[in-house]
Amino acid sequence: MSDALPAAAADSAAVGIFKIALGVEYKGSRYRGFQRQRAGVPSIQAALEKALSKVAGGAPVTLSCAGRTDALVHASAQVVHFDTTVSRSMHSWVMGANMNLPADISVTWAKLMPAHFDARFCAMARRYRYVIYNDQIRPAHMAEEVTWNHRPLDIEPMREAARALVGTHDFSAFRARQCQAKSPVKTVHHLQLLEHGRFIVLDIRANAFLHHMVRNIAGVLMAIGAGERPVEWAAEVLESRVRRTGGVTAHPYGLYLVQVDYPEEFELPRRYLGPHFLSGLPDVAADAQAVIC
């Protein structure tokens, strides 16, 4: 975690305004999502801004993020940025924030960025993992960090069905009613189903996501894996462009934002692909066929 200034970042710092990017991981179970809410409603953003303001000596801090995760959703690689006139080392931003954050939120790295960096608008792709615990007995451990599914799931039909969702499509059938995205057309670069013990992991990367898109895809694929629907149903739901054809939205507990991709010029730090209890899984993206927009 170097404090050396790249030229573009140095230019920004020279005028007394520092743009800082942070890597953040969190367990979302106690929060109403990333975005700041009304007073008294807990959010990841509010907790981070409060902690960072203390590091900044009381100066207010306002964050922008790569993706506003929903209530109860987790992240192992969220990226945020803020502008400040307060000079601190990158080490101080990380350690100081963590000293003032609750135990279920951690800052993992900090980097001084050029003025044109934006955590949201510079992101080229986001990647999520949806973790299903497949067993008849509900788990006593990590009950809010995985989605329990008691029905035996056959992963091969799920994999076959998932192929229909890769590429550029209108995902209207997989978006929540309250979704505010301007367009339902998104490009899914890869969608893989992995097995890890009793876990089934849905690993998906796209240029952007609609509200509840991953959870709605998970709900469709679980119904297919349980034998309740045929493999062809995933394509039928997609082609319908009607949300009510897609069945139940899967629970939020097993959903993690695990990676955000940026242009190489920014050289953001990379850690292992999360969540931490799946860090031994291979990175399937290396073998997946990328779909070009």
Backbone angles phi, psi at 192, to 5 degrees: -120, 150
Query: Contact at 8 Å (CB) between 59 and 85?
Result: yes
Backbone angles phi, psi at 234, to 5 degrees: -60, -45
Residues belonging to the binding site for substrate are: 128
Closest residue by Cα to residue 250 from 272, 226, 271, 231: 226
Instruction: Tell me the C-alpha distance between 113 and 142, whole Å.
Output: 36
CA distances 228 to 135, 153, 217, 219, Å, are: 17, 10, 15, 11
Give me the catalytic one of 70, 104, 154, 287.
70
Partners of residue 190 on adjacent β-strands: 205
Catalytic residue flag (residue 3): no
Closest residue by Cα to residue 48 from 88, 93, 101: 101
Residues belonging to the binding site are: 128
Q: Give ∠ CA 233-71-44 in degrees, rounded to 5.
A: 140
Residues labelled catalytic: 70
